[in-house]
Structure 1
Amino acid sequence: MPEAATDFDLAVIGSGGGAFAAAIRATKLGKRVVMIERSTVGGTCVNTGCIPSKALLAAAEARHVALDATSRFPGISTSTGPVDMTELITSTRSLVQTMRSDKYIDLIGEYGWDLREGNAAFAGTPAEPVLEITAPDGARSVVRAAHYLVATGSTPWAPQVPGLQETDYLTSTTAMELEEVPKSLLVVGGGYVALEQAQLFARLGSNVTMLVRSRLASAEEPEASRALMGVFADEGIHVVRRAVLTSVSTDPDTADMIVTAAVAGGQQEFRASKLLVATGRRAVSEGLNLDTVGVKTGDRGEILVQDTLVSSNPRIWAAGDVTGHREFVYVAAAHGSLMAENAFNDAGRNVDYRYLPRVTFTSPALAAVGMTDKEAKYAGIRCECRVLPLEYVPRAVVNRDTRGFIKIVADHASGKIVGITAVGKEAGDLAAAGVYILAAGMTVEHVASLWSPYLTMAEGIRIAAQSFTTDVSRLSCCAS
C-alpha cells in the first residue's frame, strides 16, 4: 500500500454516544474527522437501547398508575383497556427517528465532519495502521488517520444452552420490535435489562416469570434485591432464584417456548409464549482485524485499554461498551471526550469511576453511587451503615408509595460517606445528588446539618444521614 499524507486527524468507527463525543471535541479542536458507520447512525442508545426502552417503560408506568390509582388514592377512579402494541411501537419509532435526526444526524452537518457508510477493518501494520472501508455497493476505499477510535459498542449475548439457538428467542433489541404484547413471557437474567424488561411487559399485560441465577441486581446491595422482589411480587411477576437453564425448545403444536432449568438441585420446566434472554452484552469487535495492527482484546472481545483509553497500539483508542467498561451511554460519552483530549492535547487524563452513578429504571427505580457495604469492607474500610425505610421520607408518604429505602455507607472513623443506594421514586435523582456528596468528601454529620427542601425525595438523604445519631421515628415531619 503506497505511503501518503494523513487523510484525517481522527477516524472514528461507530456513531453512538462515544463516537459523537469524540468527533465533536476533536472538531472543536480544529481537527479533521471522519466517521464510519455500517448500520444506522446513533448507536445502541438512541436506536435500540435507552430511548426506545425508557419510552416504553414510561408508557407502561402510565398504564400501571391508572390501574393502581384507585387503591392508592381513595376517591380516584380509573380504568384501562388492552394495549395496542403496534401503535405504541410506531409512536416510539417516531420518537427515535426525531432524536436520531436532532441529536445525531443534524449535528454532523453542523460540525462538518465526514460520514461514510460501510464496514471498516484495519489493515497496514501496527506502526502504520489504515482503515479499509467497504461500502454497501461493494466499493472500497482507504482512510489514513493520525489517530483511530473504535466505538462500536456491544450487542446482546446469550449463553450456550442446548436448543436455544434453534428457537426464536428475544433479546433486549428484538423485544422492542414486538407487534403485540405476549400473553406470557419468560425472562432469563436478573440484571438491569432483565429487571426493566420484566416489569415493562408485566405492566403491559404479560404474565411474566423471571429465571435468575443468583438474585435480582446481584451487584448492588442485598436490600435492593429484597425491595425489588417485594415490588415484583406485588405486581404479579414470579421470580425463580438460583435457576440455571439446561435446555430450550419450541412446542410444535402451540409454538410456546419450553425451558428446562436446574432449580434448587432439581429440574423444572417452564412454558411461555415468548422467551427473553437478558444475560448481558458482549463487545462488538469481530471483523475489525485488530490483531493486524497490534490491538489486544480480552476473553469477551473487549478492547483492552489503559485508563487513558489508549489501546496496546498508541494510535488506536477505544470508547464505550467495546472496552468492556460500565455499559452506560454517559460513560461512552465521557470516554469520547477524554480520548480526544488525550490524543490531541496530550492531557494524560484517566477515567475515574469512583463516583459513577448507576440507575436501573424500574418503578420504583434502583440507583446507587460509590461503594456498596460489601465493596467498602473489601477495600479495607471499617463501615457504618444505615438503611432508612421510605416510610420515614415525607415525600414517599404523600405519594402513597413507601416501597423502598435509602442506604448510606460511611467510614466509621471519619464519618465520610463512601456509598449511597436507593430504591424509590426518583432514585436516579438521589444518585445524582450522591455524586456531589461523594465527590466533595462530605461526612454524615455535614449532610445531616445541611438544608434540604421539604417534601422532596432528596430530603431522604438528609434524613438517612440524621438516622446515624437520631431516632428518626421521633422527628416531626419537617423538624431538624
Structure 2
Amino acid sequence: MYDVLVIGAGSAGYVAASVLARQKLNVAVVEKGKFGGTCVNSGCVPSIFLFDSSFMLSRWQEIGDYKGLDVKVDFSNSTFSKRDDVVSYLSSAGRSLIENAGGHVYKGSGRIIDKGVAETDEGEKICFKKLIVASGSVPKTPPGVMSEDEAVNLEYVPKDMIVVGGGYAGVEIAQIFSRLGSSVTLITRSRIMKGFSEKAREYLLQSLEFDGVQVKEFHEVKRMSEREVYTENGTFKGEVVVSATGRTPLIPDGLKSYSINVKENGIIVRPTMMTDDPSVFAIGDVVDKPNKTAHSAMHEAIVASYNLIGRKLEVKYNCIPQVVYTDPQIGVVGSASHAVKFAEFPFNAVTRATIAGMRDGEVRIGFNEKGETVFGEVIGKNAEELINIITLAVRHKITAFELATTVFVHPSLSEGISNAAKTMFDLDIDRFK
C-alpha cells in the first residue's frame, strides 16, 4: 500500500513525487511516456534550445555589425542532435530525482479501477491512500497534420512551413524556423498573441515581418492536411503544416470512481490543488487553470505536496509570470486591470542596453491605488530574467517608491525596472541622457 500514487511524471508529477518521497512517504509514480512530460520532451526544452540557436544566428550578425566585428555564423544540422542530447539528459534526470528520493516507478498509463486501486498497462495493481493526477495534456491536432510537439522535434529545416495558430506556441515555432531558413507563413483566426498588450503585439509583428514570416491574421481555417491549409481567404501550401491551436487535458481512465468535477479545460481544483475529493489532488496541464506553464506546474506540485502532508499553502496565479520565447521576448505577470497607474521606460534609454545593442523594447509596471505593484510587462531581450524581479514585487506588494529607491547595478538591463518606477517621482535621469 502506497501513501501516494502520482499519475504522470512531467514537470508537475516528478516534482510532487520527489518532494513527497523526501518527506519519507511511500510514493509510487506511473508514467507511460518519457519522464519530464511535455516541457522536457516536446515543449519548453527542445523549443527554447532551437530558439537559442536561431537567436544566436541572428544576434551574432546583429552584434557584429553594431560592435564593428567581422562575424560569420552558419547553422549546423548537429544542432538537432545536441538538442536531443539535452532532452535525453533532463528526462533521465527527472526519473533519477524520484528514484534517488526513494520513489517507486511503474511504466504505463495508470488506469483507475476502483477507489485506491490503479492498474498499469501490464496488469500490475497499485494500491494507494491518496492520489495526485498529473497526467498533462496533448495537442489539439487534426489527423495527418504535424503537432506543435512534433515540430520542435524535427530533425531538419523544411523548405516551406505553414503554422496554424497565433498563440505563443505558433509564434515561437514560426520565428524559430524562419530564422533557421524556412519560408514560414503564420495563419491565425484572430490577432497573434491575443490577450497580450497592443505594444507587445506591435514589437512582435515587426520582428516577425523582419524575419520574413508572412503573418495572416483574421484567416478562418476551414480545414488542413499534411501539406495544405484551406481558409476563407485562400489556400496555402507548404512542405510542412504545423497545428498549434491549443492543447486538451489528458484525463486518466477510471477517474469517475471519485467525486471530481471535470470540465472541458481540465479538472477543477481549489487553491490548495485539492479536488472535490479530499484524497485526490490535481496539478499541471490536466487542471482547469489560467496559467498552463511548466513553472506553474512545478509550483502547483509543491503546493499539493504541502497540503497533502498537512502544511497549508495556496497557489496565487496572479503572482506566476508568463514568458513568450520570441525575439523580442515578452514577459508578463499580474493583472493590468488591477492597476490605476502605469509607469513605462524604454530600453533605448537604458545605458546597458545601448552598450549591448539591445535597445528594442520597454518595461511597463502597474500600481494600485496604494502604490503597490500589481502588474508588470517586459518586452525585449532577457525578459525571461527581468520579469522575475517584477514578480517578486507583485508577490510582496512592493510599492513604486520602494522600487524607485532600490539601488540596481549600473549599467544593467534591470535598471529599466527601477527607472520605470522613478518616472512616478520625476527621478528618471537616464531618460534625458
TM-score normalised to the size of structure 1?
Answer: 0.85
Alignment partners' CA distance in 1, 2:225 and 2:17: 45
Q: Match of 1:157?
A: 140
Q: Match of 2:178?
A: 202
Alignment partners' CA distance in 2, 1:440 and 1:387: 20
Give the alignment partner of residue 107 of structure 2, picking from 82, 104, 117.
117
Alignment partners' CA distance in 1, 2:268 and 2:196: 25
Confirm or deny that 1:336 pairs with 2:293: no
Give the alignment partner of residue 144 of structure 1, picking from 127, 140, 143.
127
The secondary structure found in structure 2 opposite 1:134 is coil
Per the TM alignment, residue 445 of structure 1 is displaced from its structure 2 partner at its CA by 2.3
Are residues 474 and 8 of structure 1, via their aligned partners in 2, closer, same or farther at CA, if it must alter by over 3 Å?
closer
Confirm or deny that 1:46 pairs with 2:3: no
Confirm or deny that 1:25 pairs with 2:16: no
Confirm or deny that 1:322 pairs with 2:286: yes
| 1:151-190 equivalent positions in 2, closer than 5 A | 151-158=134-141, 164-165=142-143, 168-190=144-166
Is 1:69–1:77's contact at 8 Å kept on the other side of the alignment? no
Alignment partners' CA distance in 1, 2:196 and 2:273: 26
Residue identity matched to 1:464: A
Per the TM alignment, residue 134 of structure 1 is displaced from its structure 2 partner at its CA by 2.0
Per the TM alignment, residue 213 of structure 1 is displaced from its structure 2 partner at its CA by 2.5
Confirm or deny that 1:425 pairs with 2:381: yes
Deviations for 1:236-257, whole angstroms, at most 9, x for unmatched residues?
222122222113246xxxxxx2
Alignment partners' CA distance in 2, 1:54 and 1:475: 33
Are residues 65 and 129 of structure 1, via their aligned partners in 2, closer, same or farther at CA, if it must alter by over 3 Å?
same
Are residues 240 and 71 of structure 1, via their aligned partners in 2, closer, same or farther at CA, if it must alter by over 3 Å?
farther
The secondary structure found in structure 1 opposite 2:426 is coil
Are residues 233 and 359 of structure 1, via their aligned partners in 2, closer, same or farther at CA, if it must alter by over 3 Å?
same
| 1:346-357 equivalent positions in 2, closer than 5 A | 347-357=311-321
Alignment partners' CA distance in 1, 2:137 and 2:430: 50
The secondary structure found in structure 1 opposite 2:201 is helix
Per the TM alignment, residue 308 of structure 1 is displaced from its structure 2 partner at its CA by 1.6
Alignment partners' CA distance in 1, 2:278 and 2:403: 44
| 1:65-84 equivalent positions in 2, closer than 5 A | 65-73=59-67, 75-81=68-74, 83-84=75-76
Unaligned runs of 5+ in 2: none
Q: Match of 1:397?
A: 354
Deviations for 1:204-243, whole angstroms, at most 9, x for unmatched residues?
0111121122222222222111111111122222212222
Per the TM alignment, residue 472 of structure 1 is displaced from its structure 2 partner at its CA by 4.7
The secondary structure found in structure 2 opposite 1:187 is strand
The secondary structure found in structure 1 opposite 2:263 is coil
The secondary structure found in structure 2 opposite 1:403 is coil
Per the TM alignment, residue 471 of structure 1 is displaced from its structure 2 partner at its CA by 8.3
Confirm or deny that 1:94 pairs with 2:68: no
Residue identity matched to 1:433: I
Q: Match of 1:132?
A: 119
Deviations for 1:145-189, whole angstroms, at most 9, x for unmatched residues?
11011111111113xxxxx53xx4222211123222111211111
Give the alignment partner of residue 224 of structure 1, picking from 189, 197, 200.
200
Per the TM alignment, residue 70 of structure 1 is displaced from its structure 2 partner at its CA by 4.4
Is 2:113–2:119's contact at 8 Å kept on the other side of the alignment? yes
Per the TM alignment, residue 13 of structure 1 is displaced from its structure 2 partner at its CA by 0.8
Residue identity matched to 1:313: D
Residue identity matched to 1:123: I
Alignment partners' CA distance in 1, 2:165 and 2:26: 43
Q: Match of 1:296?
A: 261
Is 2:221–2:231's contact at 8 Å kept on the other side of the alignment? yes
Give me the CA root mean square deviation. 2.0
Alignment partners' CA distance in 2, 1:294 and 1:132: 19
Alignment partners' CA distance in 2, 1:19 and 1:189: 28
Q: Match of 1:443?
A: 399
Alignment partners' CA distance in 1, 2:296 and 2:402: 29
Per the TM alignment, residue 69 of structure 1 is displaced from its structure 2 partner at its CA by 3.8
Q: Match of 1:4?
A: none
Alignment partners' CA distance in 1, 2:54 and 2:395: 35
The secondary structure found in structure 1 opposite 2:317 is coil
Are residues 38 and 348 of structure 1, via their aligned partners in 2, closer, same or farther at CA, if it must alter by over 3 Å?
same
Alignment partners' CA distance in 1, 2:231 and 2:42: 29
Alignment partners' CA distance in 2, 1:14 and 1:79: 44
Give the alignment partner of residue 237 of structure 2, picking from 271, 288, 304.
271
Per the TM alignment, residue 474 of structure 1 is displaced from its structure 2 partner at its CA by 7.2
Are residues 351 and 249 of structure 1, via their aligned partners in 2, closer, same or farther at CA, if it must alter by over 3 Å?
closer
Confirm or deny that 1:360 pairs with 2:324: yes
Residue identity matched to 1:394: T
Unaligned runs of 5+ in 1: 1-6, 159-163, 251-256
Is 1:357–1:432's contact at 8 Å kept on the other side of the alignment? yes
Per the TM alignment, residue 337 of structure 1 is displaced from its structure 2 partner at its CA by 1.7
Per the TM alignment, residue 260 of structure 1 is displaced from its structure 2 partner at its CA by 2.4
Is 2:225–2:241's contact at 8 Å kept on the other side of the alignment? no
**Identity over aligned pairs, percent:** 25
Per the TM alignment, residue 449 of structure 1 is displaced from its structure 2 partner at its CA by 2.0
Give the alignment partner of residue 280 of structure 1, picking from 246, 251, 272.
246
Q: Match of 1:239?
A: 215
Per the TM alignment, residue 42 of structure 1 is displaced from its structure 2 partner at its CA by 2.2
Alignment partners' CA distance in 1, 2:108 and 2:60: 46
Q: Match of 1:37?
A: 31
Alignment partners' CA distance in 2, 1:444 and 1:432: 16
Residue identity matched to 1:131: A
Residue identity matched to 2:130: H
Q: Match of 1:260?
A: 230
The secondary structure found in structure 2 opposite 1:35 is strand
TM-score normalised to the size of structure 2?
Answer: 0.94
Alignment partners' CA distance in 1, 2:73 and 2:405: 45
Greater CA radius of gyration, 1 or 2?
Answer: 1
The secondary structure found in structure 2 opposite 1:436 is helix
Structure 1 range deviating more: 144-153 or 239-248: 239-248
Per the TM alignment, residue 292 of structure 1 is displaced from its structure 2 partner at its CA by 2.8
Residue identity matched to 1:305: V
